[in-house]
Structure 1
Amino acid sequence: MESTKPSFNKSMSLLDATMLVAGSMIGSGIFIVSADIARNTGSVGWMMLIWVICGFMTLTAALTYGELSAMFPKAGGQYVYLREAYNPLVSFVFGWTFFAVIQTATIAAVGVAFAKFTAYLFPFLDEDVYLFVLGDYRVSSAQVLSIAVIVVLTSINSRGINSGKLVQTTLTLVKIVSLLLLILFGFIAFKYEVWNSNWLAADIWSLRRFHVDGTFEDYSTFGAFGAISAALVGALFSSDSWHSSSSVAGEIKNPQRNIGLSLALGTTIVTIIYILTNLMYTCVLDLHQMVNAPKDRVAMSAAQEIFGPFGITIIAVMIMISTFGCNNGIILSGARVYYSMAKDGLFFKKVGGLNKNAVPAYALWLQCLVASLWCLSGKYGDLLDMITCVVVVFYVLAVAGVIRLRYTQPHLPRPYKAFGYPFLPIMYMLMGTAFIVLMLIYKPNYTVPGILIALAGVPIFYVVNKKRNHHV
């Protein structure tokens, strides 16, 4: 009797995979984090350099991941790479952290960002409008809207890969065009006096703390390294989820070629857009305006300079489209990681199944549940700061895995070999490790809890693995 068990539908083209990468990266960060970067660096020269460093790291990691994606074109992406390069413990700790915080809290935060900017058009949806109050615990209309968005996107993705990819490709193309138009109009609204104050100042490469009252504070030598790492947090978070296409390998046409290519193309597109966007900010806003942007919304301040009062509405709509599309990509790709864990017997068995539409529906809805709980917790913002360091730890491990596999499994087919090997992978490992160490030294309150959440996966692995072996 022929099996009717559903299997993944390979319907994603190179364009779809590239838009998944770019769309998962572009959320609300590029519209906001430059304010904090400007405060930490105190000059436009260093602010731009931070974005260049971030772009270099992201592109280098993506080009290196291309080798892994061509070797192991399977659903699960980074989870699979860590398992093959190291062992099931390392991959499980990644998968656990990914499920517990990295992906689910990110979905919550992006959902709440969507709600916050929707409130510009519909004030009754603001985060200060409370629908439920019990003592100190409050639930705002923004939190409820964010959960509704997550449920809607999960429902769309549970109907099949074609539904998810249509939303993703369409919205990503819209937001790329919108950002390019914003950049264009920003350059057209070029203000010579602002540009000169930013770029012709004698202290353009001075690294210092810029306080909101307009005063500067010089760093010690060690403090300067801490400031660079603190500034990188926002940039790296804005560029995260660049590996999304690797998670849906089972649904991409010609995955050995198209995953690596989509990673390279998607990260290149976003890196160029991010650098141009920040350059545009320096055309219309001086450093003091960036640092003092209301609620750090630099893009809104820039849009007001470019379009007048109507600029706020333009940016609000852009961020709504951007965050909606970003969440769709994160939701779509994240579920495939839990699916792969379940297939290895390290997660709930039902999560390893596909529904009639050939997508991991149980994984999607379980992810939806946890992300919704993060929305209700109100702690998603804090957790994102905590996990940035952990995310880079797993990226460094995966990049190091490319070098490890060259020695441990030299005969494995490598349809694509990492660009710039071994120089670029080693550069990434050094930069990533330096970032991790500096964050642990200078921001222990943010980084140590993230490391502890990841390490909690170690005893959980042994409990789960013992049960799995018992049932074998």
Structure 2
Amino acid sequence: MEEKTSFKPSLRLIDATMLVAGSMIGSGIFIVSADITRNTGSAGWLMFVWVITGFMTLTAALSYGELSAMFPKAGGQYVYLKESYNPLISFLYGWSFFTVIHTATIAAVGVAFAKFTAYIFPFFSEDNLLADLGFFRISAAQLLSILVIVLLTVVNTRGVNSGKIIQTSFTLAKLLSLLGLIVFGLFAIQSDVWSANWQNASIWDLHKLNSDGSTESYTTMAAFGAIAAAMVGSIFSSDSWHTVTFIAGEIKNPKKNIGLSLALGTLIVTVIYLLTNIMYTGVLSLQEIASADKDRVAVTASHVIFGNAGTVIIALMIMVSTFGCNNGLIMAGARVYYSMAKDGLFFEKVGHLNKNAVPALALWIQCVLASIWSLSGKYGDLLDMISFVVVVFYMLTIAGIFILRKRLPEAPRPYKAVGYPVLPILYIVMGLAFCVLLIIYKPQYTWPGLIITLAGIPVYFLIVKSNRGKKERKITASSVE
């Protein structure tokens, strides 16, 4: 294939903003409020979890704006960690990103698309097994997930403009449909349900609400653990906002537009998430939210709002949402592996662009691993396990702002972190509290992600040793000649 030496700056501010918003909104907002409600037991704490997650997301996005303006290169967070710390730290991020964080997310979003497609076309149900070998099963939902991942990979290998068209159009469609759901839901608010959920006596009564209606009280410290556990879902639903930084080399005027798109995209999604949850508490009792079938709160709410047509309406909305979300994830993720390859820390050929000026091999390798995760059926568990690691890397990246301001005080900073140093410090403190509470009260959400990340250390040194050996052989060959 004819190789291009550089990316094509083709994405405008609206395209970058739609990439931020589109990558954030997948299936989470339609589902995770059930688990948050079970952990918190009240409307006030349900909203607090979403508010604190939104605040953290906005704070991180505003902080990343400074780094994106300093280093408007493909690779985003991987590049920021390398510039702030060292190649080992950035490799561990890239390793975790490739092995689980990003590829398992693509798989989870793909299967979510298939599950809701089954509401309209039952053949694609996860219960429809196409192969059962005892130790290994393949369902129609998993197969459709893989087909969608492959399709979007093909589209993105044909150039950034192809992916841009899907991303911008599908994100606008899902934003408008979500706003429509919110508006219709607010008109359908039931006064008795609203009053019961928001009465002063119970609004801040933090307790565990079981699906059968029973409740359990928390000790003071266990209450903090419950909030941290509840935030796992909201953080997953608000993640991937930084994907726009991965594709910096293809954004017009990146020093300005990346930071602006981060701010606009995360703000839009945060407001929509808050309004959606307000709508939920207006049409459903807390018990109905907590006990929604398979946690599909939006489906239950839609039945109240639209009647029997509600299921099809939500299914179509989630299909549009997850399809667009996966396009953004697939488009952006491959640029991280491209940057790693350029540093000699991934397969060498991944660091080349095809005739359409995109890293095609990186896209296909990502496609293969995401497809394997789709077949495994373990992506959901993995995503719970890596929330801890995701926040750790966010904290390290934001701490890098302080390091770089001291190390490179004269470096051009077209955009500076809003609220520096207060907001970045506040994010780090809140992130530390979240991680410590998970370690204490939900260790199953922490140690698997840590093991996966730390497993990258020996891999890094093996790669470095191999690269050193290649250089020595080249030098020897040159001297012999």
TM-score by length of 1: 0.99
Equivalent in the alignment of 1:230? 229
Equivalent residues of 2:3, 2:357 under 8 A apart:
no
Question: Matches of 1:5 and 1:380 in 2, distance apart?
Answer: 35
Equivalent in the alignment of 1:122? 121
Equivalent in the alignment of 1:12? 11
Unaligned runs of 5+ in 1: none
Equivalent residues of 1:6, 1:355 under 8 A apart:
no
Letter in structure 2 aligned against 1:52: V
1:420 is paired with a residue whose SS is: coil
For 1:206-243, what per-residue CA distance to the aligned partner results, in whole angstroms no more than 9, with x for missing partners? 11100112121110111001100000000000000000
1:316 is paired with a residue whose SS is: helix
Give the direction of change, closer, same or farther, for the CA distance of 1:405–1:126 in structure 2 (3 Å limit). same
Distance apart, 1:4 and its partner CA: 6.7
2:137 is paired with a residue whose SS is: strand
Is 1:421 aligned to 2:455, yes or no?
A: no
Question: Matches of 2:356 and 2:332 in 1, distance apart?
Answer: 16
Letter in structure 1 aligned against 2:262: L
Letter in structure 2 aligned against 1:314: I
Equivalent residues of 2:110, 2:146 under 8 A apart:
yes
Moved more, 172-181 or 204-213: 204-213
- Deviation above 4 Å: which 4+ runs of structure 1? none
Write the mapping of 1:201-350 to structure 2, written as runs, cut at 5 A.
201-350=200-349
Aligned length: 470
Equivalent in the alignment of 2:454? 455
Equivalent residues of 1:6, 1:356 under 8 A apart:
no
Distance apart, 1:5 and its partner CA: 3.6
Question: Matches of 2:470 and 2:454 in 1, distance apart?
Answer: 25
Equivalent in the alignment of 1:51? 50
Question: Matches of 1:340 and 1:194 in 2, distance apart?
Answer: 52
Moved more, 355-364 or 211-220: 211-220
Letter in structure 2 aligned against 1:454: T
Is 1:36 aligned to 2:35, yes or no?
A: yes
Write the mapping of 1:165-180 to structure 2, written as runs, cut at 5 A.
165-180=164-179
Question: Matches of 2:226 and 2:99 in 1, distance apart?
Answer: 29
Distance apart, 1:466 and its partner CA: 1.4
Question: Matches of 1:4 and 1:97 in 2, distance apart?
Answer: 29
Moved more, 135-144 or 159-168: 135-144
For 1:50-97, what per-residue CA distance to the aligned partner results, in whole angstroms no more than 9, with x for missing partners? 000000000000000000000000000000000000000000000000
2:208 is paired with a residue whose SS is: strand
Write the mapping of 1:148-167 to structure 2, written as runs, cut at 5 A.
148-167=147-166
Is 1:370 aligned to 2:355, yes or no?
A: no
Question: Matches of 1:359 and 1:6 in 2, distance apart?
Answer: 10
Letter in structure 2 aligned against 1:19: M
Question: Matches of 1:351 and 1:223 in 2, distance apart?
Answer: 46
Is 1:132 aligned to 2:131, yes or no?
A: yes
Is 1:93 aligned to 2:99, yes or no?
A: no
Equivalent residues of 1:120, 1:313 under 8 A apart:
yes
Give the direction of change, closer, same or farther, for the CA distance of 1:413–1:275 in structure 2 (3 Å limit). same
Distance apart, 1:441 and its partner CA: 1.4
Equivalent in the alignment of 1:108? 107
2:423 is paired with a residue whose SS is: helix
Equivalent residues of 1:11, 1:251 under 8 A apart:
yes
1:308 is paired with a residue whose SS is: helix
Distance apart, 1:468 and its partner CA: 1.6
2:446 is paired with a residue whose SS is: helix
1:241 is paired with a residue whose SS is: coil
Is 1:194 aligned to 2:221, yes or no?
A: no
Is 1:355 aligned to 2:322, yes or no?
A: no
Question: Matches of 1:314 and 1:151 in 2, distance apart?
Answer: 26
Q: C-alpha root-mean-square deviation of aligned residues, in Å?
A: 0.9
Question: Matches of 2:299 and 2:459 in 1, distance apart?
Answer: 44
Is 1:443 aligned to 2:426, yes or no?
A: no
Question: Matches of 1:239 and 1:274 in 2, distance apart?
Answer: 9
Equivalent residues of 2:32, 2:233 under 8 A apart:
yes
Equivalent residues of 1:43, 1:287 under 8 A apart:
yes
Question: Matches of 2:118 and 2:103 in 1, distance apart?
Answer: 23
For 1:259-305, what per-residue CA distance to the aligned partner results, in whole angstroms no more than 9, with x for missing partners? 00000000000000000000011110110110111111000111000
Question: Matches of 2:379 and 2:445 in 1, distance apart?
Answer: 13
1:355 is paired with a residue whose SS is: coil
Question: Matches of 2:357 and 2:197 in 1, distance apart?
Answer: 53
Question: Matches of 1:176 and 1:362 in 2, distance apart?
Answer: 32
Distance apart, 1:189 and its partner CA: 0.7
Letter in structure 1 aligned against 2:205: S
1:347 is paired with a residue whose SS is: coil
Equivalent residues of 2:4, 2:354 under 8 A apart:
no
Letter in structure 1 aligned against 2:77: Q
